[in-house]
Amino acid sequence: MKKNSSFKNSVFLFILLFFVFLSFGRAGTLVVDNTPSDGICENTMSYYATIQEAVNKAHDGDIIKICKGNYNESVTINGIDNLTITSGADVNSPTDVNWYSNGNTLTINGNSKNLVIENISIKSNATSSSNKNIYIKKVKNKIKFQNLVIKTEGATAIYGGYSVDNGLKGYFKDLNITTGGNGIYINEGSTQEFENINIEMTSNSGNLDGIFLGNNVNNDKNHSFKHLSFLVKAGSAINLDSGKNMIFEDINITADSYGDNTQAIRLDWNVNGQADLSFKNINIDLNKGIGISIAKAKNISAENVVINGSTNYSFYAQDSVTGNLSFQNITFNVNNNYGLLINEGKDVTINSANISGSSANGWGIQTKENVTGNLNFKDINVTTHVGGIDIKKGKKVTFDNIKVNSDSSSSNDVGVRFDNSNFKAISITNSELSATGDALRVAGSSNLTVDSSKLTTRGDHAIYINTNVKKATLKNSCFHNTSSSGNSYAIYIYNWNNNI
């Protein structure tokens, strides 16, 4: 009896394990091949002629492999979790799978979770901007797009709609996108990561963006933008209406149809006010417009940033930047107006900068009245057609090895101007300042020091010291006036009662 009972238990256990195995076994591989006469690309006897057929038969956790070929169809994924769509064994390049349609080519719906789309090409021939090549309609948790070739005539390449779960994380990696519409346009979600992406915009519309994050994307989440290349016409390369801490690294942008107010990288007013922003290894070439514009943030750091051709601002930190700003190894070649303009902030540090070409009403560098901390400038070359450096306000200011040359013919254009009476201390050492106007004009400071420097004016004063300078020390320096005007001086001190 004991043996029989043991045998029955063993049979029961075997049957149970068998059905468990079948249950797990349902997460399998489905093969799509619309030219099976050439031989199915995977080692299987069963296949589907269309991608939609395979999607309809797929279960959670399945992998759909698409063999080499042309697939003209619009596909909808509806409520499948952990699904991967990838290429078959005969595919050597993503373009070997040519999946296209005349409308929305892929729609992801039904609260699907954790999807991966990879190693294929997806195209929409639709000419309307209302179409979406890849439409992320209703998705949860995370979605990953990697190693894709994406082309559109007028549709948005990848579009994330307003019904996406607010916790959806997006991963975009190794994408080549050529689009007549928007590139990657995300209206809602959580953390977004962009890496190794090439985007070419073929439309001249200024309303189209390379990468866009709308103001419904969770504003407390961090985003990263790394190894990106943009060839754009008239729209922004990166346009962000939300986000907290963000990294921009190894980014190249070329624009050939900008207007004066178009912004290559734009961070708007809905960005989190506590955001820390990091820009590193950025190269922007413009025909016109603005390089980087930041409406709102806390701290900003920029390192190895080159911006050529701007006609409004190369780098613009607006009125709601409340923390510290740091710039290292920056080059701004300006065609008009400002090189670097900072409206608000605390401490500002600039180490190693080359700024040239500012004209019209701009300055090479200007910090406004709401910049209230210490300013440390070192190893800076500014060549302008207007004023060089204008500091409206601050506490302690240190200039070391600063070279400013304004070639303007107007005596109103100053080399360096401190345009406020509330500076605690100003120190200028090892510097050369030259302008038709005052080479150095100081409205006020508790303590001014000029040491081991050369200041030259061609039409006004080499140094102009106003009444509100309480103490000034000038030593080991040359103050040179090349003008023949009787109202022009090498050293002009407005009030002798001060401690000079």
| pLDDT, tens digit, 9 for 90 and up, residues 47-104 | 899 999 999 999 999 999 999 999 999 999 999 999 999 999 999 999 999 999 999 9
Residue 149 clears pLDDT 70, i.e. is over it? yes
pLDDT of residue 27: 61
pLDDT of residue 154: 96
Residue 12 clears pLDDT 50, i.e. is over it? no
Q: When comparing pLDDT for 358 and 145, which is higher? A: 145
Residue 5 clears pLDDT 80, i.e. is over it? no
Identify the weakest region by mean pLDDT among 24-38, 100-114, 431-445, 461-475: 24-38
pLDDT of residue 486: 66
Residue 405 clears pLDDT 50, i.e. is over it? yes
| CB 450, CB 440: distance < 8 Å | yes
pLDDT of residue 18: 40
Q: When comparing pLDDT for 351 and 500, which is higher? A: 351
